Amino acid sequence: MKALVLLALLALAVPATAQVRILETTPHPDDPMAGPQLADPIVDAPPIQLSLFQRADEKLGDDKFQPEIGQAGKDVIWVPTPDSLVKAMLTVAEVRPDDYVVDLGAGDGKIAIAAGRDFGARAHGIEYNPEMVALAQRNAQRAGVAGKVTFQQGDIFETDFSSATVVTMYLLPSLNLKLRDTILKMKPGTRVVSHAFSMGDWDPERTINTDDATGYFWIVPANVEGRWAFEVGNDRFAAELKQTYQVLDLPKGSPLREGRLRGTGISLTRANGQELAGSVNGDQMVGRGWVATRIKPAS
């Protein structure tokens, strides 16, 4: 009896023109009230792709790979450069926003990322281990520099990095020596910094010491070997120049006593004590009050 009263009350509450309908998940095609059979946004939705919601928990893939200090690589084991030395290396190299930094053996990407994040430079890392490359890319994304810091899987001995203005590395001494000739052929003025290991008899411009580690800094010198014709004021003379990296070797009896290069910059001391400072551009040297032209390349 109570059910009948309830139905009667509902009928009175609904306007005469309205119709009470029970929606089903699948309308009957012969129902004139069914209208177009539109997909139900809940019932007919495609299965949820859980992976889309798992990315935050998985830290963009960190759950699949985490490097371990000492893990073996192609030529070296992985040991990260301390943050204090990373900053010191990039500071000594005077990294600027217009630089292109290439990190050889980039590992987790921390040096290249620091160059982009803290110094505003474009940076690129070359790393042989594809899992480390993926980690470095995730780290760059987290640091907000994925647009200017990139990474690639590759062999540093087979990959062209000649367009770099700054080269960074943390490799074994034997690998530094293997790379040395390639680096010396780079554009004069290219800056090079290494964590821990030197380059044999190529003396660094500076040794970098922090509480955590040691690094070394070089500048690729211009090639000035050969015979040069100098004009210094009213004086004209010729001099044979040989060099060992950035240091000039001058024979006895030369009108020049000593000389040194710093990238494209050159400083010379004449036998009479006069100091000449200038810059090298191919077969020309120019300084204040003097010029020199290479008249014969090194034999």
DSSP assigned state of 77: B
User: How many CB atoms lie under 10 A from the CB of residue 212?
Assistant: 12
Return the pLDDT at 97: 98
Q: Which domains does the chain have, with CATH numbers?
A: 83-219 (3.40.50.150), 226-297 (no CATH)
pLDDT means over runs of 10, the chain (299 residues): 40 39 39 43 39 41 66 70 96 98 96 98 96 95 96 97 98 96 98 97 98 96 98 97 97 96 98 97 98 93
Return the pLDDT at 298: 86
What is the pTM (predicted TM-score) of this model? 0.77
Looking at the DSSP assignment, which residues form a beta bridge with residue 55? none
Return the pLDDT at 47: 40
Per DSSP (E only), the strands in the chain are 100-104, 122-127, 149-153, 166-169, 191-195, 206-209, 214-219, 226-232, 235-244, 247-249, 256-262, 265-270, 275-281, 284-287, 290-297
User: How many CB atoms lie under 10 A from the CB of residue 290?
Assistant: 18
Report the length, in residues, of the chain: 299
